[in-house]
Amino acid sequence: MNDVNKLYELWLEKTADNAEIQKELLSIKGNEEEILDRFYRNLEFGTAGLRGVLGAGTNRMNTYTVCQATQGLADCLNGKYDSASVAIGYDSRINSDVFSKQCAEVLAANGIKAYIFPRLMPTPLLSFAVMRLKCQSGIVITASHNPSKYNGYKCYDPAGYQMTDEAALETYSFIQKVDMFKDIKRIPFDEGIEKGLIEYISDDLVEEFYSLVLQRPINPEIRRESDLKVIYSPLNGTGNIPVRTVLSRAGFKNVEVVPQQEMPDGTFPTCPYPNPEIKQVFECAIEMTKTDKADLLLATDPDCDRVGIAVLTGGEYVLLSGNDVGVLLAEYMLSARKEKGTLPENPLMTKSFVSTPLINLVAEKYGCKVVDVLTGFKYVGEFISKLEKKGEENRFVMGFEESYGYLIGTHARDKDAVAASLMICEMAAYYKSKGKTLVDVLNGIYDEFGNYVNKLYNFAFEGASGMVRMAEIMAQTRENPPKELAGLKVLKVHDFEASTVTDTETGAKTAIELPKSNVLAYSLPEGNFAIVRPSGTEPKIKVYITGCGKTRADAENRADLLGAAMKELIKIGE
């Protein structure tokens, strides 16, 4: 506690010229718990960069932590390149525009060219800019779908995907050497512009992105002729102009926008948790349908890399999961491209290993291989880059993760809700022309392959004590693997940190050919599965369940039983 209090006093002294930080620090004077929460650690820089609550302290997102990270990145780049450049993007969150300019000022002061978007842009556009401008890195200021009190700092590889473990560790080693009050170099933004060290990214690059997204129709006539009615919400984020632009240019004329959620607003007044995974974000859109029904409700998260949908079925709007949409896209894209003769030889899809195995069965029907990668879309981007080096990028059909992330094509190396929104609308229009809703199509897939129910349980652990508890839970679970879950025998234990799969009957171990990750997974009979891992971006433990059954009710029941068994296993609530 003494060290924490010393840090608190140091911040009081060194931030005297920052009225906002001073106000917060003085408001917690003498409050040991609040001081501890802000100073017990530094925000960790990992493969997801930084993410934290806005405010004062080393465990908060603020000018000092953002500039420290950028100075470390600059030192790392200058040690590797004679002339480096970095692309910078930002979303609608509180201080995102401020932090992005500060990043540019630090980079420019270190002799690194900073390309910055003149206005907020979706994350996939930043990924595209890194590749198109041949930058050595990229930064995007966003906290994705977190509540408004959060912001974050994502860092990119020269190939356009978020840094993987090795690059993040290398960058973090430089960040740790930076004294945030002594070592940060900065020049005024306008001076950087005048010296040519800071340059705004032109609209030509944005137009090129649109062009590439629009080049991938499977049924272009469906887009032009469809009467599909869509209500779209950018959730007060970056998707408003890009998504509406590509839908309009593709030929979708019947698109309305939720007015309360149209304009950028980092407070997210109508959706405190701006996450398209939850039905609450669709409430404003559903209200609009009381006077005029829409076929499809579409919502993108604040940085427009995730998209969720609700489908009109039987007079009600059914929210589809990320797994549901991934399976539907696989079925539509593979079947339609096969029919059109545009499916490549030996096609490939990627999915995060926590995503539904049902997509494997769908893909297999069309001769498409599904490659599992670790959670985090950077691994999808890395996979595409490896294909590109072999001249095989045309084999790639889609990348997918259950948390509503999709990449259609290879124009970006991150999930892209702009392109995904367009393909989802084409898919919905196509099936509407056949007299089907997306729910009808999904039920047909279940009839063919069996019912798969996927559930995600999130358990929050706030503050310093929460981080300790999360580590204890993972250690205890690893040391005491279950023999059965909800009456089902555990067939295999997958330990991604040890990189082994253990056959519980024979004890035989096989290697996992993926980077190490703090994840445990349990294979069960008949396709049932359970996975537990700590979140890489939030103070949460996540449990993923796959429940299988002949009927929907059977699969739902199995998933619920497995969820309860996993909760007991990791002793949540003790």
Q: Is 131 helix (H, G, I), strand (E, B) or coil?
A: helix
**Residue recorded with tokens 């190939």:** 159
Helices marked H in 289-377 — which ranges?
322-340, 358-365
Strands 113-116 and 85-90: parallel
CA 319 to chain centre: 19
Cα–Cα distance measured from residue 531 to residue 522, given in angstroms and rounded to the nearest whole number: 6
Instruction: Pick the closest to residue 309 from 298, 325, 322, 293 (CA basis).
Output: 298
Whether the CB-CB separation of 356 and 544 falls below 8 Å is answered with no
Instruction: Pick the closest to residue 124 from 406, 358, 526, 365 (CA basis).
Output: 406
**Residue recorded with tokens 């806005």:** 54
Structure tokens at 502: 């253990």
Cα–Cα distance measured from residue 366 to residue 53, given in angstroms and rounded to the nearest whole number: 45
Whether the CB-CB separation of 143 and 92 falls below 8 Å is answered with no
- Catalytic choice (100, 127, 144, 321): 144
**Residue 144 designated active-site:** yes
Q: Is 211 helix (H, G, I), strand (E, B) or coil?
A: helix
> What DSSP line would sit under 417-473, residue for residue?
HHHHHHHHHHHHHHHHHTT--HHHHHHHHHHHH-EEEEEEEEEE--HHHHHHHHHHH
Catalytic residues: 144
